[in-house]
């Protein structure tokens, strides 16, 4: 089944992700797929939370931290400024503390504490996680293409979602149990109303958001996750391992895309030994890819003559990826 067939036969899979190790072509394939879907009349948002601003690079537009920016008809790109999100988080916590304790300003010790807590990686992850939830629960796009950070990190997000979810489940349960006792006690004291449990409602809110996003990301019906591989030994091995881990987190793997394949027409006539060697080596690993991933290979993407940046180049690649028979597996 080709990449195009996957999209044509599963229009309900609206959340698209390309995963893989660093530098294999995740951003390139995200942008290419986004441009192609938009050209088919779908409303598409391609987004990332990567501070590297790779979407700015590939579209040659400064979109970092600017919300959804229109690129071409039907296509928007968005790069979340994670640092900004974290600062907003800190501000929110400060405000809550001021409200709760009726301070005029946050005492220095507490402020230091907030700053230290925000420097924690968990804080950063949760700010980023929250940003992703915002994006996918709010918009009205036909497709959301999530340009992922390199593999290890993506896995970390997913595992965080699971951990958060379990943790919040436990706390919520505890709170609910406690509440029953509160109610009994209140009735015995003949109190009219019980103050609304703010913590419980906050927890429920967070839980719903996490559920919304992690269930979307792991929803077989609505999500398509593609692994990007290149014909190299270590990459193939790592991808097999990663795919096993992803399955554990219930991520629905929709196939593998083989990037940076040296064009077959190069291997004609009198070519330098160096190039011949490279081609022979690739052929060996392409063979290995076929035996490893079998019918799950969705496309072979040629190594272009230069970096893929700018719309004309992206459109050329989209043509190869979605309409040429050569691109189909
Ligand atoms: N088929 C291709 N032909 C030529 N250049 C390519 C091809 N695919 C990717 N590249 C180039 O390789 C570089 C890395 O690609 P890309 O940024 O898409 O990788 P990535 O997986 O998103 O990287 P990161 O893990 O850093 O996010 C870019 O300069 C891109 O233009
Ligand atoms: Mg990238």
Give DSSP secondary structure letters for 162-214.
HHHHHHHHHHHHHHHHHHHHHHHHHHHTT-S-----HHHHHHHHHHHHHHHHH
Return d(Cα 143, Cα 240) in angstroms, integer. Answer: 27
| 41-53 confidence digits (pLDDT tens) | 999 999 998 888 8
Q: What is the dihedral of CA 43, 216, 171, 176, to 10 degrees?
A: 80
> Which atom in ligand 1 lies closest to the alpha carbon of residue 54?
17
Return d(Cα 186, Cα 176) in angstroms, integer. Answer: 15
Query: Whose CA is closest to atom 2 on ligand 1?
Result: 303
- 148 and 188 fall within a common domain: no
Hey, what are 9's tokens?
A: 């036969």
The CA 324 to ligand 2 mean position distance, Å, reads: 25
The count of domains in the chain is 3
- 274 and 294 fall within a common domain: yes
In short, whether 154's Cβ falls inside 6 Å of ligand 1 is no
Residue 18 neighbours by CB under 8 Å, 6+ apart? 25, 26, 29, 30, 33, 145, 147, 148, 225, 226, 227, 228, 257
In short, whether 260's Cβ falls inside 6 Å of ligand 1 is yes
> Which atom in ligand 1 lies closest to the alpha carbon of residue 259?
1
- 254 and 108 fall within a common domain: no
- 107 and 195 fall within a common domain: no
Q: Residue 224, SS3?
A: strand
Q: What is the dihedral of CA 258, 263, 268, 274, to 10 degrees?
A: -70
Q: What is the pLDDT, as a whole number, of residue 265?
A: 82
Residue 298 neighbours by CB under 8 Å, 6+ apart? 1, 2, 3, 6, 226, 254, 255, 256, 257, 329
E strands, the chain, in order: 15-19, 44-48, 69-72, 75-79, 143-147, 223-229, 253-261, 297-302
Q: What is the pLDDT, as a whole number, of residue 173?
A: 73
pTM across the whole model: 0.82
Q: Is residue 189 part of a domain?
A: yes
Query: Whose CA is closest to atom 25 on ligand 1?
Result: 22
Q: Is residue 316 part of a domain?
A: yes
- 68 and 172 fall within a common domain: no
Closest listed ligand to the CA of 57: 1
- 101 and 118 fall within a common domain: yes
Q: What is the pLDDT, as a whole number, of residue 326?
A: 47
Let me know: does 56 contact 177? Beta carbons within 8 Å. no
Q: Is residue 171 part of a domain?
A: yes
In short, whether 54's Cβ falls inside 6 Å of ligand 1 is yes
- 199 and 246 fall within a common domain: no
Return d(Cα 195, Cα 187) in angstroms, integer. Answer: 13
Q: Residue 44, SS3?
A: strand
The CA 246 to ligand 2 mean position distance, Å, reads: 19
Q: What is the pLDDT, as a whole number, of residue 82?
A: 81
CATH of the domain at 245: 3.40.50.300
The CA 201 to ligand 1 mean position distance, Å, reads: 44
- 177 and 250 fall within a common domain: no
The CA 25 to ligand 2 mean position distance, Å, reads: 7
Query: Whose CA is closest to atom 5 on ligand 1?
Result: 307
The CA 56 to ligand 1 mean position distance, Å, reads: 13
- 145 and 68 fall within a common domain: yes
- 148 and 101 fall within a common domain: no
Hey, what are 227's tokens?
A: 């692994």
In short, whether 32's Cβ falls inside 6 Å of ligand 1 is no
Q: What is the pLDDT, as a whole number, of residue 327?
A: 44
Let me know: does 228 contact 257? Beta carbons within 8 Å. yes
- 199 and 175 fall within a common domain: yes
Candidates 326, 303, 153; CA nearest to 231 is 303
Which residue numbers in the chain have pLDDT < 70? Answer: 97, 100-101, 113-114, 116-126, 151-168, 171-172, 175, 178-200, 202-204, 206-207, 209-214, 324-329
Q: Is residue 300 part of a domain?
A: yes
In short, whether 146's Cβ falls inside 6 Å of ligand 1 is no
Q: Is residue 197 part of a domain?
A: yes
Q: Is residue 329 part of a domain?
A: no
Q: Is residue 76 part of a domain?
A: yes
Q: What is the pLDDT, as a whole number, of residue 120?
A: 62
In short, whether 14's Cβ falls inside 6 Å of ligand 1 is no
> Which atom in ligand 1 lies closest to the alpha carbon of residue 302?
1
In short, whether 307's Cβ falls inside 6 Å of ligand 1 is yes
The dihedral sign for the CA sequence 24, 29, 32, 35: negative
Mutate which of 21, 25, 29, 227 to test ligand 1's pocket (most atoms within 8 Å of Cβ)?
A: 25
Query: Whose CA is closest to atom 6 on ligand 1?
Result: 307
- 41 and 61 fall within a common domain: yes
For helices 26-39 and 311-322, give the axis angle rounded to 10 degrees. Answer: 80
In short, whether 304's Cβ falls inside 6 Å of ligand 1 is yes
Q: Is residue 174 part of a domain?
A: yes
Closest listed ligand to the CA of 308: 1
In short, whether 150's Cβ falls inside 6 Å of ligand 1 is yes
Range of the domain at 114: 85-122
| 105-147 confidence digits (pLDDT tens) | 777 777 776 676 666 666 666 677 778 878 887 778 999 999 9
């Amino acid at each position: 089944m080709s990449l195009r067939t996957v999209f044509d036969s599963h229009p309900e899979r609206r959340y698209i992700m390309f995963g893989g190790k660093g530098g294999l072509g995740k951003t390139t394939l995200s942008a290419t797929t986004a441009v192609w879907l938009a050209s088919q009349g779908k409303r598409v948002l391609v987004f990332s939370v990567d501070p590297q601003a790779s979407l700015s690079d590939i579209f040659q537009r400064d979109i970092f931290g600017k919300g959804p920016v229109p690129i071409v008809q039907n296509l928007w790109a968005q790069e979340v400024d994670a640092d900004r999100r974290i600062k907003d988080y800190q501000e929110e916590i400060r405000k809550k503390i001021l409200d709760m304790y009726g301070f005029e300003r946050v005492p220095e010790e507490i402020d230091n504490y907030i700053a230290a807590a925000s420097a924690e990686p968990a804080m950063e992850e949760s700010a980023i996680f929250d940003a992703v939830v915002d994006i996918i629960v709010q918009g009205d796009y036909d497709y959301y293409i999530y340009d992922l950070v390199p593999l290890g990190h993506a896995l970390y997000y997913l595992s965080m979602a699971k951990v958060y979810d379990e943790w919040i489940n436990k706390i919520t349960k505890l709170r609910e149990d406690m509440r029953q006792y509160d109610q009994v006690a209140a009735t015995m004291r003949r109190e009219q109303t019980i103050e609304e449990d703010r913590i419980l409602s906050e927890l429920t809110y967070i839980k719903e958001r996490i559920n919304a996003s992690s269930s979307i990301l792991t929803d077989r019906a609505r999500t398509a996750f593609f692994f990007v591989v290149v014909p190299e030994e270590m990459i193939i091995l790592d991808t097999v391992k990663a795919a096993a881990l992803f399955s554990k987190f219930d991520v629905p793997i929709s196939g593998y895309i083989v990037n940076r394949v040296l064009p077959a027409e190069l291997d004609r006539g009198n070519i330098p030994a160096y190039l011949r060697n490279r081609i022979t080596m690739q052929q060996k690993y392409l063979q290995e890819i076929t035996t490893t991933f079998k019918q799950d290979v969705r496309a072979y993407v040629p190594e272009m003559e230069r970096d893929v940046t700018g719309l004309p180049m992206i459109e050329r690649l989209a043509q190869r990826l979605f309409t040429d028979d050569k691109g189909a597996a």
